[in-house]
Structure 1
Amino acid sequence: MSAPRLLTRPVAALALFAALAALPPVALALGDPFLVVVGGRMLVFAIAALSLDLILGYGAMVSFGHAAWLGLGAYAVGVLMRWGIDDLALQVLAALAVALPVAALTGAISLRTRGIYFIMITLAFGQMAYFFFVSLSALGGDDGMALTHRSTLAGLRLMETDEGLYYVTLAALALAFAGLWALVRSRFGRVLVGTRENALRMQAVGFRPFPFQLTAYLISAGICAVAGVFLANQALYVSPAYMSWQRSGELIVMVILGGIGNLTGAVAGAVVTIALEEGLARWSDHWRLGFGLLLVLVVLYSPGGLTGLARRLTGGRE
């Protein structure tokens, strides 16, 4: 697989975000408000896919437990709601306060391994988190917990409507995208990519891979936990199912479909995946078969994902 470029095309990114910003007015014009709900799910999983692409695309760390951070962020909202705390900023801080220490511990252990062993140990940690929350009857156990209302923002109920929640989530996605864009273009990002390509060579020139990989792992976990905060608000429900290995697999599929090591591709992959789920499910209960066949075709004929296919169709360069 060719090394992904650090720079994604600004025009493509701007066009994608412009299309996302235009979705609620389009839904209103079509008289289909459900499109805003679907779009909200797209944005939430775009944030999660972005976070995974940092470690998968730029650090070659294939995590099969990444959904654990999504679940921890969601449960931070649920627990604080029970205590009467519904401020979004406090919920985000709580999600980070829980996810980052856990990520520091599990990351320090996982990064002692490589390849298939890293995949299996992250899977094990993810399933430990899943079964831990399944066993917590105080938080609903396997049934999860319902939320009475959505979070407030600076005391304002801007997120009570689907449109308000949509645009707040879009703003969070834009901030995450801009932050990661700057990060992967920085010296830190170049060292991370160099470590992915040849860790021994990076050590020979004076860089220890472990601190860079662990830092990327922490940043990735934190951003995914924030996605969990918005997922809880979008669904008004929190469940251990958010942490399952199947959910982690779905995030990996989104990154692969969009194009590994391409931030714009991660967002596009999440958008297209959710759109295909909704579209194919209307045609058949066995929509996963069609989606799987499509994914196989993308992997076989466009290893660069949707962004690679778009570049070839437009005659562009990677």
Structure 2
Amino acid sequence: MSDATPMPRSLRTPALAGRVKAAMVLFVLFALMPPLAAALNDPFYVLIGTRILAYAIAAMALDLILGFGALVSFGHAAYLGFGAYAVAILSSYGINDLFLQIAAGIAMSACFALVTGAISLRTQGVYFIMITLAFGQMAFFFFISLSAYGGDDGYSLAQRSTVFGADLLRSNYGLYYTALALLIALFVVCNRIVNSRFGRVFTGIRENRTRMEAVGYSPFRFQLTAFVISACITSVAGVLLANQAQFVSPAFMSWHRSGELIVMVVLGGVGTLAGGIGGAVVALLLEEWLGMLTDHWPLLFGIFLVLMVLFSPHGITGLLAKLGFGRAQE
């Protein structure tokens, strides 16, 4: 779509200012969590906060293709596993630098996403969902077969990653703020992508694939590029989860985990980026709080999710828009 061609209103992404404002509020609240945990003398909040930040990155990455490209990947948790196992494999060889591990996770995810995405994107709709699920399960069973790294039992890490040789992540607070910094940086990247020409074309393919082909764009190339970018960002979350738990296992990449990521995106608001972050916060906090009340917390969580879908189809961001705290979209 050329610059001379005005973009229809239906193809516009959510307002940049509103999306950034919502994200900034969340980032400020995240920054205040460790001081609050210290005041309450409860380090648990920092640990759960780090887990939330990691899943927020993964949910935001999934929202990049689900919300703006209508690509429902049911195997996206595989890239969490690639990031996590990048930490385990490199640390077993004495390579503990965080950024080298992130680079390795990104490389593994990019290769896998490039191959599987090139195949999956030949399909559409439910067929795309099922083939991504199949590839995700292939990765899951591959890591189960790696007996050198614990197989199905998982693999414990001797220590957390280092940052340029410094043990900054040994402290829970150091790991937390590192995760927050990565979330902010990756949000900026995703936001730039969505508001670039690439992002507008990608969203246009979602709305009218035939029209975008007619004006000279190749949907396959744009979708595959977005798919690989989303996979690479998700792998960063896997690196953080491995450090938070100091343990990796194939459970990180099961289809249940992929389903949880989709739930987070839907709960927060599809196609908003900040909604994926907010959805991760709400989903994981509800999991913790409801788990304290009853062993049957998934039932209560399911009821909550059904009510949200029925009364606020645009998720939490849509609900806030109805209450006058902003607009879900232009």
Give the TM-score range, shorter chain: over 0.9
Displacement of 1:316 after TM fit?
3.4
Q: Distance in 1 between matches of 2:326 and 2:188?
A: 23
- The question of 1:133 aligning with 2:136 is answered no
One-letter code aligned to 2:109: A
Aligned 1:257-276 pairs, distance under 5 A: 257-276=267-286
Of the candidates 44, 53, 58, which is equivalent to residue 48 of structure 1? 58
Q: Distance in 2 between matches of 1:288 and 1:143?
A: 24
User: Any idea what SS the aligned residue of 1:68 has?
Assistant: helix
- Identify unmatched segments of 5+ residues in structure 2: 1-9
CA contact (8 A) 2:19 2:273 kept: no
Aligned-residue RMSD, C-alpha: 1.3
Q: Distance in 2 between matches of 1:226 and 1:134?
A: 21
Query: What are the Cα deviations for residues 116-167 of structure 1, in whole angstroms up to 9, with x where unaligned?
Result: 0000000000000001111121111100100011000011111001110000
Displacement of 1:3 after TM fit?
7.5
Query: What are the Cα deviations for residues 232-262 of structure 1, in whole angstroms up to 9, with x where unaligned?
Result: 0011000000110000000000000000001
Of the candidates 203, 213, 222, which is equivalent to residue 203 of structure 1? 213
- The question of 1:76 aligning with 2:86 is answered yes
1:5 matched residue in structure 2? 14
One-letter code aligned to 1:220: S
One-letter code aligned to 1:291: F
Q: Distance in 2 between matches of 1:306 and 1:129?
A: 32
CA contact (8 A) 1:6 1:262 kept: no
Higher mean alpha-carbon deviation, 1-10 vs 221-230, is at: 1-10
- The question of 1:234 aligning with 2:241 is answered no
- Identify unmatched segments of 5+ residues in structure 1: none
Of the candidates 257, 271, 282, which is equivalent to residue 247 of structure 1? 257
1:283 matched residue in structure 2? 293
CA contact (8 A) 2:153 2:249 kept: yes
Q: Distance in 1 between matches of 2:143 and 2:178?
A: 28
Displacement of 1:205 after TM fit?
1.0
1:297 matched residue in structure 2? 307
CA contact (8 A) 1:24 1:36 kept: yes
For these two proteins, the number of residue pairs brought into alignment is 318
1:99 matched residue in structure 2? 109
Query: What are the Cα deviations for residues 94-115 of structure 1, in whole angstroms up to 9, with x where unaligned?
Result: 1112111111000000000000
Q: Distance in 1 between matches of 2:150 and 2:63?
A: 32
CA contact (8 A) 1:4 1:260 kept: no
CA contact (8 A) 2:13 2:194 kept: no
Q: Distance in 1 between matches of 2:303 and 2:68?
A: 27
Aligned 1:140-219 pairs, distance under 5 A: 140-219=150-229
Displacement of 1:317 after TM fit?
2.7
Aligned 1:57-72 pairs, distance under 5 A: 57-72=67-82
One-letter code aligned to 2:234: C
Q: Distance in 2 between matches of 1:106 and 1:9?
A: 31
Query: What are the Cα deviations for residues 253-277 of structure 1, in whole angstroms up to 9, with x where unaligned?
Result: 0000000001111100001111101
One-letter code aligned to 1:48: A
- The question of 1:19 aligning with 2:67 is answered no
Question: Which contiguous aligned blocks of 4+ residues in structure 1 show a shift greater than 4 angstroms?
Answer: 1-4
CA contact (8 A) 1:151 1:159 kept: yes
1:316 matched residue in structure 2? 326
For normalisation by structure 2, the TM-score amounts to 0.94
One-letter code aligned to 1:120: M
For normalisation by structure 1, the TM-score amounts to 0.98
User: Any idea what SS the aligned residue of 1:58 has?
Assistant: helix
Displacement of 1:9 after TM fit?
3.1
CA contact (8 A) 1:126 1:244 kept: yes
Q: Distance in 1 between matches of 2:124 and 2:168?
A: 44
